[in-house]
Structure 1
Amino acid sequence: MTLSASELYEAGLALPPSVRKDMALRLLESVEDVDQESVDEAWTAEIGSRVDDLTSGKVQTIPGDEVFTRVAARLDAREAARNA
């Protein structure tokens, strides 16, 4: 007997949460078609490009303290707008 996708979904909902999680992860792994070598090559190229941008002066870094100050200010402004 073959189950339709919706029948399989409904049957899956009857399973305990830990089993559903395992099943979902296994199903996801079965459709992920990742060629790790090409992913690694793409990341290596991206990192090289970013390092080149930094060393050439094309981009400037921002000190961490300044980043956190800017983020805090934005969050405060959003919170103030919500409470207004």
Structure 2
Amino acid sequence: MTATTDRVTEEALSLPADIRLNLVEKLITSLNLPIDEDIDRLWAEEAERRISQIEAGEVRLVPGEEVFSKIRAKYGK
């Protein structure tokens, strides 16, 4: 990486998470990657399936912190 890239990266990493997420979205959008409609459709179907399972009480939602806490306990860090 160049010195400029290193500096920009360091500055970006010092931003709050919500601003970094917004920056990531803008950077990815700027790449103008081709849209795969089949993948978009499949993800939309998966999201609908999961919403249906949640609404029907078929699954139990687990808070992210609980998941990461268990992972840290099992694998360290």
Give the TM-score, by structure 2 length.
Answer: 0.49
Greater Cα radius of gyration, structure 1 or 2? 1
Give the TM-score, by structure 1 length.
Answer: 0.45
Write 1 or 2 for the structure with the bigger share of helix: 1
